Chain A
């Protein structure tokens, strides 16, 4: 009987410990810039959902493409209708692994390499990016930047507007994580 109670207590501790390995937020910021001298194309979403698993060194992002806000309403419409085809492919996703060493107890900002798969517009591509992570007990912050080309994700750009849209799109990420409670 005593052994059973011991097991019970152990199981409880075990469950709690599992929960603290993960940090998450529902309002991470993602912005992208594909401006050219001809046209300013900047958009931001602050509704990205993201997780960090500090035990497995894994990260995951998901964002609705319709949540990106543009300065021009017409640009936003074209982004969703003609380029991202948001009705068909509503989400953009990233899942990856932190491949550089990171000390999650240090609470000091560290630049790490992240390898993973970026999926959008129904196409998936292997990407490598640099991220700056500041670990903490109750708060983890991360910023990252990467460059992608629309062609890699089968996003067709008509020749008439090709000069107005940058060949390489810069994506910036800014997330503040809190411990994930199940």
Chain B
């Protein structure tokens, strides 16, 4: 009997304990409990699809089309006769489109070596925190460039010698609302190189970053270390491209204004053939303008 009483008291105690939270929980607490598990994805790691010259992990989302106009003035050290470079201009035009949220394709045309290019950028990993945790964003870029110049007889005989192929893995992390960094291992194969001494295969490592100054303005730096074991033997002195820039965002446009030692705006050009040096003022003032159009609905 005594045992029975104890058991009953225990059960009663359990019931009381069970029913107390049910009664005292207000709607606020219930909302917290039932709100979906939070996985937040990092967005806008960079303001634009380029950090300065090179690709960032950003892409056009599905059915969004970007029209890009990139322009580099001449070299600063060309003096007053050339108005410190302003008299010259190199232009790159591009149309880039998001087939899906994770795949972007694009075509471009540059006055630099009359180059045409086409690329695809695939997002493989997305940075997220919470329920699903992923510390980095990872994308792959594949690009083909075709030089259109008619001054090289070898290129006129054989079309394939105009082509070069760019492969990049873009690894980025948005550390906080202001700071994002990116590593860009790069492999470029060039079917034809300027001299016998140049390597057909070129390896480079890009380092890029952005720091947001205000909500709509950011400071960018981009550097590519190009591995050239035979640099001393080459007839031309090549430099590693270093660029600093500012992004200004106004609604549907992003303006990028930069100083860079590269003339070209495609990987094959600015990684493979940068001949200006910061040390001798071989730098260019330049800008990129990006306009996005939406084809949704």
Interface residues of A (CB under 8 A from B): 1, 4-5, 7-8, 11-12, 14-15, 18-19, 22, 24, 26, 47, 49-51, 53, 58-62, 64, 66, 71-74, 77-78, 80-82, 87-88, 90-91, 93, 95, 158, 160-161, 164, 180, 182
Instruction: Give the chain A neighbours of B22 by CB distance below 8 A.
Output: 15, 18-19, 182
What DSSP secondary structure best describes chain B's contact surface? mixed
Of the candidates B30, B44, B252, the one whose C-beta lies within 8 Å of that of A81 is B44
Q: Between A and B, how many residue pairs show CB distances below 8 Å?
A: 107
State whether the Cβ of B15 lies closer than 8 Å to any Cβ in chain A. yes
Closest B residue to A83 by beta carbon equals B215
User: Closest Cβ of chain A: how far from B174's Cβ, in Å?
Assistant: 9
B-side interface residues toward A, CB under 8 Å? 4-5, 8-9, 11-12, 15-16, 18-19, 22-23, 27-28, 30-32, 34-36, 38, 40-41, 43-44, 60-62, 64, 98, 177, 215-216, 249-252, 292, 294, 296-297
B23 adjacent to A74 (CB under 8 Å): no
Residues from chain A with Cβ under 8 Å of B252 in the complex: 72, 74
Do B34 and A87 have beta carbons less than 8 Å apart? no
Q: Are A72 and B40 in contact (CB under 8 A)?
A: no
Q: Taking each of B9, B35, B249, which has the highest tally of chain A beta carbons within 10 Å of its own beta carbon?
A: B35
Q: Which B residues lie within 8 Å of A73 (CB)?
A: 60-62, 64, 98, 292, 294
Q: Is the CB of A60 within 8 A of B27?
A: yes
Min CB gap A179→B, angstroms: 13
CA distance A22 to B35 in the complex (A): 16
Complex: chain B residue closest to A180, CB-CB: B30
- For B61, the chain A residues whose CB sits under 8 A away are 73
A124 to B279, CA, bound (A): 55
* Residue of B18, B28, B292 touching A72 (CB-CB under 8 A): B292
Q: A62-B35, A71-B297, A160-B250 are in contact. Are A51 and B4 (CB under 8 A)?
A: no
